[in-house]
Amino acid sequence: MRDAFHEELDAVFGDLASICGLVETAVSQATKALLEGDIDIAEQVISSDEQIDRAREAVEDQAFALLSLQQPVAGDLRVVVAALRMVTELERMGDLSVHVAKIARLRVPNVAVPGEIAPTMVKMAETAEDMVSRVQKIIVQRDVSAAIELGRDDEIMDQLRRASFTQLLGDDWEHGVEAAVDVALLGRYYERIADHAVSIANRVVFVVTGENPRSLDS
Amino acid sequence: MRDAFHEELDAVFGDLASICGLVETAVSQATKALLEGDIDIAEQVISSDEQIDRAREAVEDQAFALLSLQQPVAGDLRVVVAALRMVTELERMGDLSVHVAKIARLRVPNVAVPGEIAPTMVKMAETAEDMVSRVQKIIVQRDVSAAIELGRDDEIMDQLRRASFTQLLGDDWEHGVEAAVDVALLGRYYERIADHAVSIANRVVFVVTGENPRSLDS
């Protein structure tokens, strides 16, 4: 039987997983808005971000209550602080999805991503979404090996980012400065979403093992 | 006379202010490397980041010791967690300075910022550096009114960012895609440094007053 502290901690991690689900929807919908130039979906991503913000506040209140009432020390204390950091990162991933949606909205009725570079951008978006989806399962199952694997896959995002720059800066680029700037910033946003996913996965490793993976990005 | 908890907390805030000083140097030197195309300075910013990372770890250890040994509750607990968040943001500002330095290094022996847009970029860099410098004083003096004022000045950075986009995307832009992408990403990095400065200033308001300013970006 688990004690009160660990039961309440489980509830916090359950809520983190739920917020991660909201973030996954935000990333996926922002990408849809971007690739289809759909202003309604873009607006929905932007307005739904408040839900993530409110859920973040609720988790923070829970975590502070846990710290105040249960007075955890040592490892337990660090786990609660890790949860506080994870929720901050999840909120930030929501903000980054809003940035993607805002670029989509800015270019409607056009599509911000030119057809030629769309395959690379789609892969970046899919990689980010996949990492968010996997990190949700990692939180729920406290799956250390899946978390370490996620850290390794971050290299895929780096490769895609480099590939996008090669296309943008090549002599063949015919879509002008505006599209290039959009693509560079979108790449940055997806890359940061992936970075946060890796960071959250690393925090799960810490929560389970008490050790930071070497690659921990605090 | 202050009790042991508040004395140790003062030490943590003293260390936060020192790290803020390291960040100010990083921002200032990265900008110098950028505007002068100086690879030695760029390399120095990149290698000095480890110092900020180590200082961050030391503050985290201090803060955890404080939480474990003193078991603060309510407001005191939230202040220590605020300090943990502040140090994470300071480290991130160091990382963003490294990003600026890396763009500088990538373009050596050229200068990444074309002369025409240099004045706007210089203003962004100066605004960021000024905000970091002010936030250091805000941490040292727990100056709530200066912190609130800093939040208002964030609008200056937004205006500069918009001005840079107007230049980049105007018909007069003659510097091609590479320079435009560099300028867009550099603008993003300086903007994020400013965002973190505002966020840290808001946390100081919380530490002193127990209330979050309305604009708190968590």
What number is the average pLDDT over the span B67-76? 86
* Whether B169 and A177 lie within 8 Å, measured CB to CB: yes
Q: Could you tell me the CA-to-CA distances from A96 to A145, B138, B172 in Å, in that order?
A: 27, 28, 31
Cα angle vertex B153, ends B149, B156, to 5°? Answer: 170
Domain A4-209, CATH class in plain words? mainly alpha
Q: Could you tell me the CA-to-CA distances from A152 to A133, A147, A196, B205 in Å, in that order?
A: 16, 9, 14, 39
Cα angle vertex A48, ends A44, A52, to 5°? Answer: 155
Tell me what pLDDT residue A71 has: 86
Tell me what pLDDT residue B140 has: 94
* Whether A77 and B67 lie within 8 Å, measured CB to CB: yes
* Whether B91 and A173 lie within 8 Å, measured CB to CB: no
Name the residue among B56, B84, B180 with its Cβ closest to that of A181: B180
Tell me what pLDDT residue A218 has: 43
Q: Rounded CA gap, A118 and A184, in Å?
A: 13
Quote the minimal CA–CA distance from A158 to chain B in Å: 14
Tell me what pLDDT residue A81 has: 92
**By three-state DSSP, how is residue A186 classified?**
helix
Q: Rounded CA gap, A121 and A190, in Å?
A: 9
How much of chain A exceeds pLDDT 70, in percent? 97
| pLDDT band of B215, cuts 50, 70, 90 | very low
* Whether B64 and A85 lie within 8 Å, measured CB to CB: no
Tell me what pLDDT residue A216 has: 46
Residues of B in contact with A169 (CB under 8 A): 177-178, 181
Tell me what pLDDT residue A73 has: 83
Q: Rounded CA gap, B57 and B214, in Å?
A: 30
Residue B1 reports pLDDT greater than 70: no
- How many other C-beta atoms lie within 10 A of the C-beta of residue A20? 26
Q: What is the DSSP string of A126-138?
A: HHHHHHHHHHHHH
* Whether B169 and A185 lie within 8 Å, measured CB to CB: no
Tell me what pLDDT residue B214 has: 62
Distance of CA A118 to the CA centre of its chain: 21
Tell me what pLDDT residue B154 has: 87
| pLDDT band of B217, cuts 50, 70, 90 | very low
Chain B interface test: which of A177, A196, A216 (most B C-beta within 10 Å): A177
| pLDDT band of A211, cuts 50, 70, 90 | confident
Name the residue among A77, A177, A178 with its Cβ closest to that of B68: A77
Return the amino acid letter for A198.
V
* Whether A181 and B188 lie within 8 Å, measured CB to CB: no
**Minimum Cα–Cα distance from A89: chain B residue:** B218
Residues A13-63: tens digit of each pLDDT = 999 999 999 999 999 999 999 999 999 999 999 999 999 999 999 999 999
Residues A196-205: tens digit of each pLDDT = 999 999 999 9
Residue A206 reports pLDDT greater than 60: yes
Residue A217 reports pLDDT greater than 50: no
Quote the minimal CA–CA distance from A109 to chain B in Å: 18
Tell me what pLDDT residue A1 has: 52
* Whether A64 and B73 lie within 8 Å, measured CB to CB: no
Which residues on chain A place their C-beta less than 8 Å from a C-beta of chain B?
56, 60, 64, 67-68, 71, 73-74, 77-78, 81, 84-85, 88, 91, 165, 168-169, 173, 176-178, 180-181, 184-185, 188, 218
Residues B76-105: tens digit of each pLDDT = 898 999 999 999 999 999 999 999 999 999
**Minimum Cα–Cα distance from A177: chain B residue:** B177
Residue A142 reports pLDDT greater than 80: yes
Residues of A in contact with B169 (CB under 8 A): 177-178, 181
Q: Rounded CA gap, A111 and B76, in Å?
A: 50
**Minimum Cα–Cα distance from B87: chain A residue:** A218
Name the residue among B64, B77, B85 with its Cβ closest to that of A67: B77
Q: Higher confidence at residue A73 or residue B35? A: B35
Tell me what pLDDT residue A89 has: 97
Residues B154-175: tens digit of each pLDDT = 899 999 999 999 999 998 999 9
Quote the minimal CA–CA distance from A178 to chain B in Å: 6
Q: Could you tell me the CA-to-CA distances from A115 to A30, A146, A169, B47 in Å, in that order?
A: 18, 34, 16, 39
Tell me what pLDDT residue A9 has: 93
> Per-domain residue ranges for chain B?
4-209
Residues 6+ apart with CB under 8 A from B98: B26, B30, B45, B46, B49
Name the residue among A81, A168, A185 with its Cβ closest to that of B81: A81
Which residues on chain B place their C-beta less than 8 Å from a C-beta of chain A?
56, 60, 64, 67-68, 71, 73-74, 77-78, 81, 84-85, 88, 91, 165, 168-169, 173, 176-178, 180-181, 184-185, 188, 218
Residues of A in contact with B173 (CB under 8 A): 177
Tell me what pLDDT residue B216 has: 46
Residues of A in contact with B180 (CB under 8 A): 177, 180-181
**Six-digit token pair at A137?**
């399962």
Chain B interface test: which of A61, A64, A67, A95 (most B C-beta within 10 Å): A67
